[in-house]
Amino acid sequence: MKIPPVKGTRDFYPPQMAVRNYISDGWKSVSLRNGFVEYDGPIFEYLQMYQIKSGDEIVEQLFHLTDRGGRELAIRPEITPTLARMINQQINALPRPIKWFSVPRLCRAERPQKGRLREFFQWNIDIVGVDDILADAEVVFCTLDYLRSVGLTAADVIAKISSRKLLAALLLHLGIAEDKLDALYPILDKKAKLPPETFAQMLTEAVSSETAVHTILALLETHSVGDIQSVVPNVTSNSQAQAALDELHQLFDYLKAMGVADYCRFDMSIVRGLAYYAGMVFEVHDAVGDLRAVCGGGRYDNLLRDFGGPALSATGMGMGDCVLEILLRERGLINEAMFKRQMDYFVACADLNLMPKVLEIVAQLRAAGKATEFSCKAANLGKQLKQADACGAKQTLIIGQEYLNEGKILLKDMKTGTQQPIDESYLWDTLSD
């Protein structure tokens, strides 16, 4: 009986593994050049960690278990709680600012669909300990720095930026009670996912004032910071709202100075459903709008405090590999052919009696840092040359007795097909240059 992979998971055969490595290596490279350092944590944590962050309803979205000691555990669906736990454990020893990144494997017990699987990889970047909008600009820039590096242009993706601080101030200004806000955010976050009539109905049920409903609907259609004043009467008299507006203006100025303003757009409909966001929030979407968000994040100043630590400023972003890979494939920016295996040398054996010499040369080439392959089974020279071509060898060294008698090796250039005998000593001299 053949057992298939679990639904919502993936098998990574070598061609698919090459694509996965291309994505994760790119994430790591961009993180490092932007000043982030890498961390990781355990694949499972106490279930309580996720309940603290997201409430008891999160249990249904997790793969959770009770171990033999009766402890309730969960396979991590995200790494931000682990980040908070780790920082709190060494809070007095860590230099500020804390700029960390991670590329964890995550699992969520949800219905698999396009761009959303039960098991996936996610790039996370976080800056902890900086209470300035400049840190938020750094997170947005680093995100776009990666997307640019893989060939996505401003015509392909849009960073939609908003502010939970501004939204909260505006909702309070409209007369909505502060204790109603946390329940309202997840509803507002559904705007892009629901038909307009359905969303309007949900909003009407959550907000009793018809005037407030109409104003909120107009706000969520706003794509310019300057237009807020025309949508919300007397907003300039609200000091909290004005402070949030000033902060957004500063953010867009920073992003312009960093050269990524053409990727960025203000969009009041970006809310992010989780209650812990407290300032700038953003999502990157494909320009056409056919896919889920490529990534999302924002400022979450209260999370470390919720995990028993100090009230430390923090901002970050998470990007999953599933939607990103779909987008890159649709734009023709990646395919398996791009990652064809490539070796520096293939060492062919013209006489099985010379296999010890072949192994000696293979070992020396590998010790010199050269990717080198040879045939592990007996095969004629023609089949070995086909194997050399299949593994992408740039050059093939043919070991034959007639050449060895003269201290030579036959060198074949796999691209041009030309071949010539060379002194074995010349080969090692070339490698040492």
Alpha helix positions (H), 34-180: 47-54, 80-89, 133-149, 164-173
- Measured CA to CA, the distance from residue 101 to residue 27 in angstroms comes to 9
Task: Identify the residue whose tokens are 């209650």.
Answer: 275
CB 60 within 8 A of CB 166: no
Angle at 368 between CA 366 and CA 373, to 5 degrees: 25
Determine if the pTM surpasses 0.85. Answer: yes
Could you tell me the domains of the chain? 14-41+79-336 (3.30.930.10), 341-432 (3.40.50.800)
Per-residue pLDDT tens over the stretch 2-59: 999 999 999 999 999 999 999 999 999 999 999 999 999 999 999 998 888 777 777 7
Give the other-Cβ count within 10 Å of 275's Cβ: 17
For residue 124, give both structure tokens.
């996370």
Sign for the CA dihedral angle at 368, 369, 371, 375 comes to: positive
- Measured CA to CA, the distance from residue 415 to residue 347 in angstroms comes to 16
- Assign 3-state DSSP to the chain and report helix, strand, coil percentages, each to 5: 45, 20, 35
Angle at 310 between CA 305 and CA 313, to 5 degrees: 80
Which pLDDT score is estimated for 433? 60
Strand order across the beta sheet in which 64-66 lies: 44-46, 72-75, 64-66
In the predicted structure, residue 405 carries a pLDDT above the cut 90: no
- Measured CA to CA, the distance from residue 237 to residue 213 in angstroms comes to 21
For residue 377, give both structure tokens.
């089974």
Per-residue pLDDT tens over the stretch 76-114: 999 999 999 999 999 989 998 999 999 999 999 989 988
Per-residue pLDDT tens over the stretch 123-148: 999 999 999 999 999 999 999 999 99
Per-residue pLDDT tens over the stretch 269-309: 999 877 778 899 999 999 988 899 999 999 998 888 888 88
- Which residues have a Cβ under 8 Å from the Cβ of 37 and sit 6 or more positions away? 99, 100, 101
- Measured CA to CA, the distance from residue 302 to residue 145 in angstroms comes to 27
